[in-house]
Structure 1
Amino acid sequence: MSYVHLYTGNGKGKTTAAIGLALRAVGAGRRVYIAQFVKGQRYGEIAYIDRRIPTITTHRYGSECFIERKPTPDDISRAAEGLEEVRRILHNGRYGLVILDEATIAIYFGLFTSAELIDAINDRHPDTEVVITGRYATPDLIAAADLVTDMQEVKHYYTLGVEARPGIEC
């Protein structure tokens, strides 16, 4: 039996928690697929995984982070193609864990719908565990998940103007 995890909220650590679960899954002999929506840049943990952990496959379905601008047709196309690829990956059973990083942000920006994502998840192989990350989880996505963690920001030094630091935030 497999379950759907949802890590949401305004707090830091959603992707980090998902990567931690990926390492745990690899340690138990599972293959992992990490699909990153919206994120086009290569973060430190993904760079390390790509170089050192062959049982984790990563793919980014975005050109760059567009949080402060309207998504382009290319952004929408990449996300739609990514969701179709993820649908096949979820269904084929090759991976014991599939992480859909920032999928809720893709939904928030209208790159695909929560119904489309839920349909893909519901059509997954019975042994494929799923983790979805990102802010702004929709009520129907929360209802579809088996485990929901809401990470709340209490205090963060970026409010003091501290930029993202390599190896810590990126």
Structure 2
Amino acid sequence: MQNTHTTPEADEDRHKARMQKVAAARARMMESKTDERGLVIVHTGKGKGKSSSAFGMIFRAIAHGMPSAVIQFIKGGMSTGERDLITTHFSDLCAFHTMGEGFTWVTQDKIRDIEMARAGWEIAKRYIADPACRLVLLDEINIALRYGYLAPEEVLEALAAKPADSHVILTGRNAPDLLIAAADLVTEMTLVKHPFRDGVKAQPGIEF
């Protein structure tokens, strides 16, 4: 019967050899990744984390000194941690525009919702076209697209004309197929469990 007992030293040697192969393979892969360009990024899906992830990228851009902008299309005027932090400490690097007045079941005024979405889009277009603005977050714009407040075609037209090295993030459920097809990076958040279903309300630091 073959002796399968190994020493910690032998295990460490085998692990090191495997990791060296992985490192070599990854180095070969990275050698082929030489392109650098602005991206269109979509965060969609029913799961939580779309805006949270996008704001993580905004804060990363701020840390790199990259001028950025946030335009919120649906969320209303309630105080949120990300908005308070940006407007209080980083307004020189990141413009922040909350154009929505709350979710549709709160506002109950479609004409006003459309007006605010259109106003937000006019602001967004200026930032998207500005070569000095390196990252633009269009928060919950997918909802405005879903309800017909904005046309996907006009959004795609603006994205196609953006500066080559700027990035645009679009968040919200039900991203239209045209946007998904045009995007460089698409992430779908999948809902597995959510505390709201167990009677837990939205909490500071988690939802806002």
Please tell me the TM-score bracket, short chain as reference: over 0.9
**Post-superposition CA distance 1:52-94 (Å, at most 9, x none):** 1121111011122224665421110111121122112111212
2:88 maps to 1:51: yes
Unaligned runs of 5+ in 2: 1-36
Q: Secondary structure at the match of 2:128?
A: helix
Partner residue of 1:18 out of 49, 54, 62: 54
Which one has more relative contact order, counting CA pairs under 8 Å at least 6 apart? 1
Which structure: greater strand fraction?
1
Q: TM-score, normalised by structure 2?
A: 0.77
2:178 maps to 1:140: yes
Instruction: Point out the more displaced range, 32-41 or 67-76.
Output: 67-76
Deviation at 1:49, TM superposition (A): 1.2
For residues 65 and 94 of structure 1, the distance between their equivalents in structure 2, rounded to whole angstroms, comes to 32
Which structure: greater helix fraction?
2
Which residue does the alignment assign to 2:104?
Answer: 66
Classify 1:21/1:5 alpha carbon distance in 2 versus 1 (closer, same or farther; 3 Å).
same
For residues 105 and 160 of structure 2, the distance between their equivalents in structure 1, rounded to whole angstroms, comes to 28
* Structure exhibiting the larger radius of gyration computed from Cα positions: 2
RMSD: 1.4
**Post-superposition CA distance 1:88-144 (Å, at most 9, x none):** 211121210000000101111111111121111112122210111010011101001
For residues 109 and 100 of structure 2, the distance between their equivalents in structure 1, rounded to whole angstroms, comes to 10
How many residues of Structure 1 are paired with residues of Structure 2 in the alignment? 170
Moved over 4 A (4+): 67-71
- Which AA in structure 2 matches 1:53? F
For residues 169 and 102 of structure 2, the distance between their equivalents in structure 1, rounded to whole angstroms, comes to 22
Unaligned runs of 5+ in 1: none
**Post-superposition CA distance 1:147-170 (Å, at most 9, x none):** 000010101110011111122112
